[in-house]
Chains A and B, each alone.
Chain A
């Protein structure tokens, strides 16, 4: 029998080594050494310049950020990028854009928030710079719809980098064994899920990111959008939560609960991915940026069994249960760095070479980059993007989405009846809209 003292010492040493190794790996500030090197022909500044880049870490964003940092850091110019999660980026974006001077010179933005910041003149309009550098960086090849998604009041405020739309991932082996096709409506999704449940191997076959403190409002927006209704009737400046579709969106989402993990309202996208990796779910609907991870054999023994399709529509219409989110690079109005210099950096980060290198982790904004040969979920993403609900490019959209989130969570968890929830949401949205009345 080993001496207890020796065992204790060995355990302590092992723990110390584990902690030391963990500490070495944590908080690395170096952009991926494997990032693609692209042309970043910025002129040498007369004085050394430090550029701070704010972008959250994800497999879809990192290729662009790392490429920019690696390619544009050269004599006289230093680019800094600190790893940060999405929630942290949202906070820092608000703070850096608030005053006359900010901490960041380039910020990653997305279509949901651009109208809010653009309407407050916190972002630099990019149209003149696009015209100046169009030829050099082939900016005309960037998808027109994605440019529109990052525009407000006819002006471009973000140079599109990549888009994310919902894609449905499913276990082909499971569906094939049951002889069913991938669902195209919520009714079919319920039928397929019920058959998988009855087969007995997978108790909770459907996985959606419905985290009560984040993703749940996006899910509700997607359901409402699929039913053809926006949050707000922008012409009448009136919220739409008192329309029958607002209640139906809740009922349809709640109808999926029997097929999902009872704790699904604590699931964000990584946790949904984990369910698919484990084989505890067979069908997941998430943003396309999460799909490449599923196809990696290092992540899951089911990697070769995953197939991809567009998400279903809620009630059978042409518009799918979907959200199109376009990410891009913006320049804060309050930066002290030369804006043309910054624009060249973001233009090189979305150049042809950078965009090509980001596939299949991302769905770049440039036309013709994503093909079924270059990305396993390309076909699904391309079908999905064409059938997404139209964007709501208004400054109040993000505020309404954020402020009604806890009510959405209360209704989906069953704590609040649907009618009461939609009435509360109507009240909250009406108060917000009152601030924007002409």
Chain B
């Protein structure tokens, strides 16, 4: 490839990445060190925004909730996505239809999906699940005001809309497993469980790692669905980091853009920290390949 062709192909990407990624990141870092209101020039305040954020126990609780949610839901997505992918992959002509239906929850906006999901647990709007749980256990579960039941419905909702993505990626991975490997396992008399555990899963480890990376990044940024599913999130300790940023920086016309930026920078660091083992694993595999 000639130098001119290379530049012609690369320049648009560099410009877009610069405009949409590098520039906002630079501005976020800059604002995190300033006191900023809409329409005004920022005033440098050093690390005051970081100090304010880190000394707020609400942020600590938000990190705990978000990381807990991320770990639990990511594990559920990998296990559930794998099982679902195996089942769907085994279908015949109906596979496109089943896939299409399963993907509906993935394309519904989170806040809409969250509202619809909340109605399943809300006696005021029918509350089918609520009704069934009461029927079976004889107990009224307070899904919106008790911390743990509320965490359960937030996790279930997140799994509900992210599972199709995990399934879809894992199906692609399953289709890449060499037929000879499966044939060899069958000839060796490996059981189905043994084949999955010792042959298929090691073959698609990279795909599972990719699912984990995307899931961690997405769940750490949980926000919209909490509006509907956890209207009392602050009191329950179920405030996600993104909801915390919105509440302290923007709620009711607030303008603490500097504080919001500082928490955003901390969130980026947390994402990098949580992704580090996966990124290191992928890099190692790439070097070995």
Q: Do A and B come from one complex?
A: yes
Interface hub of A90, A212, A262, A263 (most chain B Cβ within 10 A) = A263
B144 touches A266 (CB 8 A): yes
A15 touches B144 (CB 8 A): no
Cα-based distance from A72 to B144 in the complex (angstroms): 45
B101 partner, pick from A12, A100, A266, A409, beta carbons under 8 A: A12
Q: Which of A1-29 contact B (CB under 8 A)?
A: 4-5, 8-9, 11-12, 15-16, 19
Q: How near does chain A come to B124, taking the closest CB pair, in angstroms?
A: 5
Cα-based distance from A406 to B58 in the complex (angstroms): 12
Interface hub of B97, B98, B124, B231 (most chain A Cβ within 10 A) = B124
A263 touches B144 (CB 8 A): yes
A12 partner, pick from B39, B97, B123, beta carbons under 8 A: B97
Q: Which of B115-161 contact A (CB under 8 A)?
A: 123-125, 140, 142-145
- B94 lies within 8 A of chain A by Cβ: yes
A91 partner, pick from B94, B231, B250, beta carbons under 8 A: B250
Among A49-57, A226-234, A270-278, A420-428, which stretch is in contact with chain B? A270-278
A410 touches B97 (CB 8 A): no
What is the chain B residue whose CB lies nearest that of A5? B94
Inter-chain contacts of A409 with B (CB < 8 A): 232, 234-235
Inter-chain contacts of A263 with B (CB < 8 A): 142-145
| Chain B interface size, under 10 / 10 to 19 / 20 to 34 / 35 or more | 20 to 34
Interface string of B92-116 (1 = CB under 8 A from A): 0110011011001000000000000
Q: Which of A117-148 contact B (CB under 8 A)?
A: none
Q: How near does chain B come to A410, taking the closest CB pair, in angstroms?
A: 6
Cα-based distance from A260 to B252 in the complex (angstroms): 27
What is the chain B residue whose CB lies nearest that of A96? B38
What is the chain B residue whose CB lies nearest that of A399? B252
Inter-chain contacts of A93 with B (CB < 8 A): 253
Q: How near does chain B come to A279, taking the closest CB pair, in angstroms?
A: 11
Q: How near does chain B come to A98, taking the closest CB pair, in angstroms?
A: 3
With A8-B98, A402-B251 in contact, is A98–B232 under 8 Å at CB? no
Cα-based distance from A334 to B50 in the complex (angstroms): 33
B37 touches A262 (CB 8 A): no
- B255 lies within 8 A of chain A by Cβ: yes
B104 touches A415 (CB 8 A): no
A15 partner, pick from B37, B40, B101, B145, beta carbons under 8 A: B101
Inter-chain contacts of A271 with B (CB < 8 A): 124
Interface hub of A94, A113, A265 (most chain B Cβ within 10 A) = A94
Q: How near does chain B come to A319, taking the closest CB pair, in angstroms?
A: 26
Please tell me the number of chain A residues within 8 Å of chain B, measured between CB atoms.
Answer: 38
Cα-based distance from A93 to B255 in the complex (angstroms): 12
B231 touches A8 (CB 8 A): no
B124 touches A262 (CB 8 A): no
- A211 lies within 8 A of chain B by Cβ: yes
- A413 lies within 8 A of chain B by Cβ: yes
Cα-based distance from A99 to B36 in the complex (angstroms): 13
With A93-B253, A266-B145 in contact, is A99–B39 under 8 Å at CB? yes
With A94-B255, A274-B124 in contact, is A213–B234 under 8 Å at CB? yes
With A8-B98, A263-B142 in contact, is A98–B38 under 8 Å at CB? yes
B234 touches A212 (CB 8 A): yes
Interface hub of B93, B125, B234 (most chain A Cβ within 10 A) = B234
- A280 lies within 8 A of chain B by Cβ: yes
Cα-based distance from A212 to B253 in the complex (angstroms): 17
Can you add 17 more A-B contacts, CB < 8 Å, to A409-B232, A409-B234?
A: A4-B94, A5-B94, A8-B94, A9-B97, A93-B253, A98-B38, A98-B39, A113-B253, A262-B145, A265-B235, A266-B144, A266-B232, A271-B124, A274-B124, A280-B123, A398-B252, A402-B251
